[in-house]
Structure 1
């Protein structure tokens, strides 16, 4: 593995900050993700036009820091800190203190990786209890807009939790549960990540096959692909035929809830699982499995989302890697 050399690290603060004006409460969608690792993503960009190497480096880094500081004006939670409050009733609550402590900016090199002939990699790491995938890319795209001089932003973030008007904030979690979970939470050993590439043509064939098997046109490309992957993985594990398998799917709330704006910043997803025995996964076709996924997703109405929020408050449950 190539060595990584840290060239500089800087705490970048928002350009403008009004002291003590903002505290963002964590919703059930946020709180359940507290134990998970951060979202880590990035993109490759072309290098600036040719000029002396040091001049490019210094100008580029300065520009990225300056544009990040301006972007944080619009995204104060990302310059803040997660905070906890211990209450007299032996509960704990969590929030984001938008205190402008800053976002850590690291300029680093990885031999043979980062220093590309014609590109620069810009990556971000954000706590998963603060953002979901949609909010992550909302921030990243906004930073890109500001970097290009596109002001005002095309899509301003919405931090208000007015949609959750039936929830009393802050949400309090029993201290005993938090402590017990912390003691029992262990990451699976040797966890590995794999990337699989499917051509447009192969996905189209999977979708057509899945829909044909159950006589419908409602199965999506993603549902057909996920059912194929799940079925293939289980088939190659030599499991007990009667062992129950669960495939959890993330379901976005923004397009399903009328009062939740697209620009809502935070987590707005729930997870639902399809349960089948190992032998059923091997015996049934891609279409049957994909259809079950389709039906689970269809049940996630606005009422179901709201009921899920209320149920979580009554009985908090944090997400683990095994769920």
Structure 2
């Protein structure tokens, strides 16, 4: 379906939607695999029903064959590229066929509600768009790019995961820039966590690069819920679900984003310092960086000493529960660890102490804690809302520097960078990614304008960075 819809951002940038398509699995597996038409949602999945769809996008230089002087040839080549991406997405959905399905809401006789994932092959949304006047440098190098430019590269802004009962579970937008391509994916958060999201991207890029599934280097996803046998009974009945649905869109205060890059050498120094202060070797590089950011953000928020502050982190339980789940399990398997203290105590105790509290909290996410969470949630379901974190005292880290971001080569080279969309952002949200150089770690930070300004003027913090990549306003 062709579209002439054109959106103009506040800075005059125009994003034109060229075409919209529904992409279905190349071969409709649900016709011959009846045992996998229905996938139950777990407590980890269900508690995210009121979260926005997850949004991640990859920025690429424009393929060389699209840089042509003749007027008609680039148009033909970009259409060929779009057709290739559609075809390979269809092949990927044959493997990740649940993402082509829809959620189903069941009203039970006991006046509760239940959900399951129906693998009906209805398909994913695919949009081809063009952002006239936007360059690669605008996205990654210019500190004053408004974030609504990048937000316009993503679909389904503001959509909550429970709305997957009528909306696609996956939406892809491929946006042409003057000298680049931005491929964004918007995925229902109740269906997949960050690990599953990246597994899907890695698989699609692998198929796109090779042109087929014959030389696929990625393992196939696993959909089973047998690991919950004897722990919780599925489907879970949710009392008063309709009464809990958020009414109206949460309006957050103005926020700014910036990607802070920590080079390998600075990461090593912070890790060594944290371990030396606590006389241990158990603090990881990521834990040291999380402690460093928690301290720096708290210091630059200028909070009173007695104000309670918290550092929370998403901890994958795939390799922690028993028996272990394969990394390719499709779904959510995250527990949230939280360290609480006061602003005064945190700043007084320093890096080693902060990193050690994070280390202990992560270590406390044991198989027993996972089972306790699953059982407790099933007995008393509580659906989380993003707004409950937006109080300006928390630092929350998601993502992982272990994700294979730069392995996502669709056939014309590795990505330049990864960016997230508007979804699930609040003051204190941090996304950890691998940097584009070995051992480098990036943190995409979302903070109030006042805190962000103070961070960039904080010499103690800024000297631990290499390049400050972007600054943008939400």
Q: Contact 2:88/2:212 (CA < 8 Å) preserved in 1?
A: no
Q: Which moved more, 1:20-29 or 1:302-311?
A: 20-29
Alignment pair present for 1:14 and 2:33: no
- Structure-2 residue corresponding to 1:47: 63
Q: Contact 1:8/1:106 (CA < 8 Å) preserved in 2?
A: yes
Alignment pair present for 1:238 and 2:310: no
Cα distance between partner residues in 2 of 1:78 and 1:189: 33
SS in 2 for 1:34: coil
The equivalent position to 2:203 in structure 1, one of 142, 148, 151, is: 142
Q: Contact 2:131/2:177 (CA < 8 Å) preserved in 1?
A: no
Alignment pair present for 1:276 and 2:291: no
Cα distance between partner residues in 2 of 1:185 and 1:63: 36
SS in 2 for 1:53: helix
- Structure-1 residue corresponding to 2:320: 256
The equivalent position to 1:85 in structure 2, one of 106, 117, 123, is: 106
The equivalent position to 1:288 in structure 2, one of 328, 332, 353, is: 353
Instruction: Please report how far the alpha carbon of residue 194 of structure 1 lies from its aligned counterpart in structure 2 after TM superposition.
Output: 2.9
> Which runs of structure 2 are paired with 1:1-323 in the superposition (5 Å)?
1=11, 2-17=13-28, 18-19=30-31, 21=34, 22-45=37-60, 46-47=62-63, 49=65, 52-113=73-134, 114-116=175-177, 119-147=180-208, 148-152=210-214, 153=216, 154-166=218-230, 167-175=232-240, 178-180=242-244, 182-183=246-247, 186-257=250-321, 258-321=323-386, 322-323=388-389
Provide the TM-score with structure 2 as the length reference.
0.64
Q: Which moved more, 1:3-12 or 1:187-196?
A: 187-196
- Deviations for 1:131-150, whole angstroms, at most 9, x for unmatched residues? 11110111111111221235
Cα distance between partner residues in 1 of 2:275 and 2:365: 21
Cα distance between partner residues in 1 of 2:310 and 2:113: 31
Q: Which moved more, 1:193-202 or 1:71-80?
A: 193-202
- Deviations for 1:171-207, whole angstroms, at most 9, x for unmatched residues? 11112x5513525984533344332122222211111
- Deviations for 1:59-84, whole angstroms, at most 9, x for unmatched residues? 11111111111111111121111221
Cα distance between partner residues in 2 of 1:123 and 1:150: 21
Structure 2 unaligned blocks of 5 or more: 1-10, 135-174, 390-474
Q: Which moved more, 1:308-317 or 1:112-121?
A: 112-121
Once superposed, which parts of structure 1, at least 4 consecutive aligned residues long, lie more than 6 Å away? Answer: none
Q: How many residues align?
A: 322
Task: Kindly report the root-mean-square deviation, in angstroms, between the aligned alpha carbons of the 2 structures.
Answer: 2.0
- Structure-1 residue corresponding to 2:158: none
Judged with a 3 Å threshold, the aligned counterparts in structure 2 of structure 1 residues 302 and 309 are, in CA distance, closer, same or farther, namely same
Instruction: Please report how far the alpha carbon of residue 298 of structure 1 lies from its aligned counterpart in structure 2 after TM superposition.
Output: 0.9
Structure 1 unaligned blocks of 5 or more: none
SS in 2 for 1:236: helix
Q: Contact 1:67/1:146 (CA < 8 Å) preserved in 2?
A: yes
Provide the TM-score with structure 1 as the length reference.
0.93
